[in-house]
Amino acid sequence: MAPVRIFDTTLRDGEQTPGVNLSPAEKLEIARHLARLRVDVIEAGFPISSKGEFEAVRAIAREISGPVIAGLARINPEDIYRAYEAVKEARRPMIHTFVATSEIHMRYKLRKSPEEIIEMTRVGVRTAKSLTNEVEFSAEDATRSDPAFLCKVFQVAVDEGATCINIPDTVGYTTPAEFKRLVGTIRANVRGIENVIISVHCHDDLGLAVANSLSAVEAGASQIECTVNGIGERAGNTSLEEVVMALRTRKDHFGTDTLVVSEQIYRVSRLVSALTGVPIQPNKAIVGANAFAHQSGIHQDGVLKERLTYEIIRPETIGLSSSRIVLGKVSGRHAFSMRLEELGYSVSQEEVDKLFVKFKELADRKRDISDKDIEALVDSELFRVPECVVLDYYHVSAGNRTVPTATVRLSVGSSPREEAASGDGPVDALFKAIDRCTGLCVTLTDYSLRAVTSGKDALGEVTLKITHNGRSFSGRGLSMDVIEASARAYVDAINRLYHSGPEERAQTSAAG
């Protein structure tokens, strides 16, 4: 049986995760790692949605080789031509076009009749096929569509030259047995289906996305659409790492595998989490912090005697190392550089020098530096947007019988500004002082703090989200001092706001 194709939509559906706002540089960096992971298709984005999105998709199409590069388009010609313009320079460009087929969507969202949907499909797929050889057609909300009508729509798409048909469980509604039957029905009733790729795209609203995707493979589907860490709309998408490792670990059951280089999984997972600001829960399958941790004495004893007693996957298979070099303040640049390479980072000498300075600052305050410390340091330093707002200095005064106050000095452009404020707590006071410096009116909508490592000298990582004019921006800060980490995260989010578009730039300039 041929390998199952992996269609990665982290950069499109994954970026639809509430609060996620990737810059073009961040999207390109993730795409580079997905190419190393050897996914079959990278859905780079939705080109017509904005000029920035178009440019990001085009940059990925120009640079990334190996995977097919797809651009999403609604079934109308304007979307399709725009998607083609974005992906046409790829070695293997693809247009992915879609239209809803369920009664609910046709009646209330599109206000189209079934006959109109069929004609739109005919014209849309024909238009896409005239532009590029590889065309994927998706029937949105397929699992709540009438199966007979669904087969008619897919028949038109296949007749017009679609090379892949996609069966989405758009709202995570179906169950494995139902989905398996649906795939079987489509295979039995669409002429020429044996000559095209059958793809599935499942959402996790009922926690069944991975199970549904694997049941579709059992029914004959040859492609799974998924995202790194399962991020995406609402409860998210099928998790790439989970379907890949399920197929590989249980190849005896499924009779197939993928071409994914699984040793890259952990690195890609960490990168996506860092750049999106979406943390990975500790008990997450495959890539969670506890996935290869054993606390019970019985489990520890079993694993020490024979790994297979409690581990069905070797940590090395996903890129985790069972041994490490202990780094500290007396370590040299060469040892630090080698450790970066062992962890899978490809960085220039200039970036090594920059990171080494930060490493030394951390080592002066922390006795032992773990791999997680280094990963957090790299993620926080290399992927920041250019700093238009720089934190120069802060001072916080707080106690159980005093009003918390904060003094902050920022460099906003070339202008140094210093302000003070009081608040309900030291972090609140700090953020209010920063707001006074920038002159911006933003709302903090999410704040989380976690220890990157264990112990009293652990690094604190703050991730937060702010909103401005209805748009969300995430920020991330790292320090052994949680107040400093909070300030850095807040300033990082403000810098992302500033670099997000002309409107925000104009307002920030006006504030200055």
Residue 501: is its pLDDT beyond 70?
no
Q: Per-residue pLDDT tens for 257-294?
A: 999 999 999 999 999 999 999 999 989 999 987 776 64
For residue 284, being part of any structural domain is answered with no
Q: What amino acid is encoded at 414 in this protein?
A: S
Residue 126 confidence (pLDDT): 98
- Contact at 8 Å (CB) between 168 and 198? no
Residue 344: pLDDT band with limits 50, 70, 90: low
Residue 326 confidence (pLDDT): 45
User: Where in 101-209 does DSSP place strands (E)?
Assistant: 134-140, 164-169, 197-202
Residue 289 confidence (pLDDT): 73
Residue 131: is its pLDDT beyond 60?
yes
Q: The domain containing residue 307 runs over which residues?
A: 297-382
Residue 342 confidence (pLDDT): 65
247 and 330 fall within a common domain:
no
* Cα 380-384-388 angle, rounded to 5 deg: 135
For residue 311, being part of any structural domain is answered with yes
Provide CB contacts within 8 A for 499, sequence distance 6+.
23, 385, 386, 388, 505
Q: Which of 276, 309, 325 is the last residue of a domain?
A: 276
Strand 460-468 to 443-451 pairing? antiparallel
Phi and psi at residue 88, to the nearest 5°: -65, -25
Q: Per-residue pLDDT tens for 16-70?
A: 998 899 999 999 999 999 999 999 999 999 999 999 999 999 999 999 999 999 9
DSSP H or E segment with residue 100: strand 93-100
Residue 295: pLDDT band with limits 50, 70, 90: very low
319 and 216 fall within a common domain:
no
Residue 77: pLDDT band with limits 50, 70, 90: very high
Strand 402-412 to 443-451 pairing? unpaired
Pairwise pLDDT comparison (123 vs 371), residue with the higher score: 123
Residue 400 confidence (pLDDT): 87
Q: At what angle do helices 333-342 and 371-382 cross, to 10 degrees?
A: 90
Residue 227: pLDDT band with limits 50, 70, 90: very high
Residue with tokens 């707590």: 425
195 and 106 fall within a common domain:
yes
Q: Which of 342, 293, 281, 292 is nearest to 317 (CA)?
A: 292
Residue 320: is its pLDDT beyond 70?
yes
User: Where in 180-306 does DSSP place strands (E)?
Assistant: 197-202, 223-226
- Coil/strand/helix, residue 183: helix
User: 307: which 2 tokens?
Assistant: 């790994």
Residue 367: is its pLDDT beyond 70?
no
Structural domains of the chain, count? 3
- Coil/strand/helix, residue 501: coil
- Contact at 8 Å (CB) between 429 and 405? yes
* Cα 328-332-333 angle, rounded to 5 deg: 115
214 and 83 fall within a common domain:
yes
Q: At what angle do helices 77-87 and 51-63 cross, to 10 degrees?
A: 40
319 and 260 fall within a common domain:
no
DSSP H or E segment with residue 184: helix 176-189
For residue 418, being part of any structural domain is answered with yes
Q: What DSSP string describes 404-422?
A: EEEEEEEEETTEEEEEEEE
Residue 4 confidence (pLDDT): 98
159 and 248 fall within a common domain:
yes
For residue 290, being part of any structural domain is answered with no
Q: Which of 452, 456, 494 is nearest to 475 (CA)?
A: 494
Residue 413 confidence (pLDDT): 79
207 and 315 fall within a common domain:
no
How far, in Å, CA of 84 to CA of 498, rounded?
30
Residue 314 confidence (pLDDT): 86
For residue 441, being part of any structural domain is answered with yes
Residue 293 confidence (pLDDT): 62
Q: Per-residue pLDDT tens for 377-408?
A: 777 677 667 778 889 999 999 988 899 999 99
How far, in Å, CA of 426 to CA of 487, rounded?
11
User: 315: which 2 tokens?
Assistant: 């940590």
315 and 227 fall within a common domain:
no
For residue 236, being part of any structural domain is answered with yes
Residue 451 confidence (pLDDT): 83
Q: Which of 340, 365, 382 is the last residue of a domain?
A: 382
Residue 508 confidence (pLDDT): 45
271 and 317 fall within a common domain:
no
User: 332: which 2 tokens?
Assistant: 């040299």
Over pLDDT 90: what percentage of the chain?
A: 65
Residue 324 confidence (pLDDT): 37
Phi and psi at residue 223, to the nearest 5°: -145, 140
Residue 267 confidence (pLDDT): 94
For residue 460, being part of any structural domain is answered with yes
Provide CB contacts within 8 A for 143, sequence distance 6+.
167, 168, 169, 170, 171, 173, 174, 178, 179, 182
- What CATH number did the domain enclosing 170 receive? 3.20.20.70
What is the DSSP code (8-state) at residue 450? E
Residue 328 confidence (pLDDT): 62
Buried b (16+ CB within 10 A) or exposed e, 334-344: eebbebbeebb
For residue 283, being part of any structural domain is answered with no
What value does the mean pLDDT take over residues 158-176?
Answer: 98
Pairwise pLDDT comparison (511 vs 162), residue with the higher score: 162
86 and 151 fall within a common domain:
yes
270 and 301 fall within a common domain:
no
Provide CB contacts within 8 A for 409, sequence distance 6+.
392, 393, 394, 416, 417, 418, 437
Q: Per-residue pLDDT tens for 210-223?
A: 999 999 999 999 99
Q: Which of 333, 348, 382 is the last residue of a domain?
A: 382
